[in-house]
Amino acid sequence: MHHYLYVGALVCLVLAYVVHLRRKTADLRAALSERQSIVGEEKRLFDFLHGLGESLLEDSSPPNMHRYIVDGVAGVVGADAGILYLLDTERRPTLVPVYLTKRSAAVIPLPPELADLEPGQRTKRARSFLRLTSVPADQGILGLALGERRVVHAPKLVEHPAFGGGPHFLQNDRSALVAPLIYGPKAFGVVAVIKRGGSGFSDNDLDVFASIAEQSAFALGSAIIHAEAGEKRRLEEELERASEIQRVLLPRDPPGLSDYRVAAHYQAARLVSGDYYDYIPVNETHYGVAVGDVCGKGIAASLVMAMCRSLLRSAAPENLSPARVLHGVNRAIFADIREDMFVSLLYLLLEKDSNRIVMARAGHEPCLIYRRATGGIETVEAPGMAAGIDEGDVFERTVEDTTVEMEPGDVLLMFTDGVTESLDRDGEEFGAERLEAALVEGAPGGADQVIDRIRRALSDFSGKTRQHDDITLIAVEKR
């Protein structure tokens, strides 16, 4: 009897050992499988980083980097799909989708009405929705990752407190990883991946994903800065060419007139300018002198300036009324000029063997006349509103011809408001009094001395202070 008891006990011990051995073997196999999975994931990570470096060297354009990063990240952690959002801060901070894998990574709530569509149409509509839908940068699971600057792991996406939407049958079995893209002190986007069903993402997936996101942010941030630098260089080159073209449009030499000596100075505050001046032969006995200032800066102002030059040169020949010339310019530009822009113009006619100068002013700074006989300054307050504001009727009623007489030794000065509004380091303007004083000092030496004296006065006043407006001066000396 005792023999049977010993045998039974021995059998039980053997069976228990076999069960324990099987469990141990299963645990070892699971550990080995997990280790192999980790090793495989790490290998994919190193391959991804190596490819990322090559991608930077071969094609660092942002679109290429978007594709490589999202596809690569999804592949390393075994995700089914991925999506990349970049931050747009022009208005309200918004996350804008820039790349989506072939399978849709729905990390934002999908429209409930998709449930009523056929499977093929449903998938197409869901993908279109994700590609076209920007989201506020402070909302949802994307906003959480961006705002807290950390990786967010949602084992069950629709149940995460930050998801922000009700259950949707297309998202119920999804798990998600979301990471902010941070380059230096700046967060500029979010990358997200999802996995359908199964056990979701492991702790190792989370660690690897965080590492990939960090490296990807560095690469993408570098690519964006490189692209922006290239775009800035291209823009600067285009502005340089535009500046050269604009300078070609300005007169190189003063008109060779026996009765008058004309001198000018032009200085753009930027590469391209809204200031304009010109000398225009009208007929055998008359010569036109014009100065203008477009309200605005940059390319738009320079284009309007070029248009005004063309129109003025077209309207001036054989027309002895400066006012009628400006009337034609105004009617031509009114339909094409932006509502927030206008042009001030001052146009005058010099007549051979005559002391008379006829001028018309369209909202421009009034010209100054130095009188040699008295040593004083006169301001010619010709009437007129700026061009481009009114279609024609009001403009033509206000812009009229004005006649002044010039004696030998008198000097007439035309200028843009960039002269009087030049600033010193304390923010004080050069002003009309300093301009008149420089005119009085230079006028006895003639037109060239007037320009030189005002330029030196402006330089002494402003020093190295950067000017915000263009400067144009024209001096007309009666001989």
| Higher pLDDT pick, 476 / 112 | 476
Assess whether 344 and 389 both reside in one domain: yes
Mean pLDDT of 170-196: 90
Q: Are residues 196 and 263 in the same domain?
A: no
Question: Is 15 within the bounds of a domain?
Answer: no
Lowest-confidence pick of 10-24, 227-241, 354-368: 10-24
User: Which has the minimum average pLDDT: 39-43, 159-163, 320-324, 358-362?
Assistant: 39-43
User: What's the confidence (pLDDT) of residue 239?
Assistant: 64
What percent of the chain is modeled with pLDDT above 90?
A: 53
Say if residues 347 and 325 touch (Cβ distance below 8 Å): yes
**pTM attached to this predicted model:** 0.60
Whether 190 shows a pLDDT value over 70: the answer reads yes
Could you tell me which residue, 126 or 301, shows the higher pLDDT? 126
Q: List the single range of 168-172, 353-357, 459-463, 464-468 with lowest mean pLDDT.
A: 168-172
Which of 118-122, 322-326, 473-477 has the lowest average pLDDT? 118-122
What CA–CA distance (Å, rounded) separates 231 from 237?
Answer: 10
204 and 264 belong to one structural domain: no
Q: Are residues 188 and 281 in the same domain?
A: no
For Cα atoms 155, 158, 161, give the angle at the middle one, nearest 5 degrees: 85
**Contact call for residues 404 and 366 (beta carbons, < 8 A):** no
Same domain, 123 and 158: yes
Query: 229-243, 365-379, 406-420: lowest mean pLDDT where?
Result: 229-243
d(CA 353, CA 356): 9
Hey, what amino acid is at 280? I
pLDDT of 53 over the 70 cut:
no
Residues 223 and 268 in one domain: no
Q: If you search the block for the tokens 């753009």, which residue do you land on? A: 268
CATH number, residue 296: 3.60.40.10
pLDDT, average across residues 7-16:
54
Residue 199 lies in a domain: yes
Query: Which residues are 288's β-sheet partners?
Result: 280, 349
Last residue of a domain, one of 194, 229, 264: 229
* Each residue's pLDDT tens digit, 303-361: 888 889 999 999 999 999 999 999 999 999 998 887 778 999 999 999 999 999 999 99
Residues 195 and 344 in one domain: no
Strand 367-371 versus strand 356-362 pairing type: unpaired
Q: What CATH number is associated with residue 215? A: 3.30.450.40
Residue 458 has pLDDT above 80, yes or no: yes
Q: Across 173-327, where does the E strand assignment appear?
A: 174-183, 186-196, 260-267, 275-281, 286-294
Q: Is the pLDDT of residue 28 over 70?
A: no
Q: Is residue 244 part of a domain?
A: no
Q: Are residues 42 and 141 in the same domain?
A: yes
Structural domains counted in the chain: 2
> For residue 138, what pLDDT is reported?
92
**Does some domain include residue 264?**
yes
Asked, for residue 225, whether it belongs to a domain, the answer is: yes
202 and 280 fall within a common domain = no
Mean pLDDT lowest among 14-28, 244-258, 388-402: 14-28
In which domain, by residue range, is 384 found? 251-478
pLDDT value at position 435?
A: 97
**Going by DSSP bridges, is the β-strand pair 186-196/260-267 parallel, antiparallel, or unpaired?**
unpaired
Q: What is the largest CA-CA distance in the chain?
A: 151
More confident residue, 165 or 410: 410
Checking if the pLDDT of 441 tops 70, the result is yes
Mean pLDDT, to the nearest integer, of 156-177? 83
Residue 58's pLDDT band (cuts 50, 70, 90): low
Tens-place pLDDT, residues 239-266: 677 667 677 778 988 888 889 999 999 9
Q: Does residue 31 register a pLDDT over 80?
A: no
Most confident of 42-51, 82-91, 192-201, 410-419: 410-419
Q: What counts of helices (H) and strands (E) characterise the chain?
A: 11, 16
Question: Which helix or strand (DSSP H or E) is residue 304 part of?
Answer: helix 298-315
Residue 50 covered by a domain: yes
| Confidence check: pLDDT of 206 > 50 | yes
Question: Which parts of 305-460 are beta strand (E)?
Answer: 343-351, 356-362, 367-371, 376-380, 402-405, 411-415
Within-domain flag for 163 = yes
pLDDT score of 474 more than 70: yes
Do 78 and 217 lie in a common domain?
A: yes
Return mean pLDDT, the chain.
Answer: 85
Mean pLDDT of 24-48: 49
Residue 79 clears pLDDT 80, i.e. is over it? yes
| Among candidate residues 229, 263, 282, the one where a domain is terminated | 229
Note the pLDDT of residue 19. Answer: 52
Rounded Cα distance between 337 and 17, Å, is: 94
Round to whole Å and give the CA distance between 381 and 360: 10
pLDDT band at 223 (very low <50, low <70, confident <90, very high): confident
- Whether 40 and 165 share a structural domain: yes
Residue 172 within a domain: yes
- Mark whether 224 and 261 lie in a shared domain: no
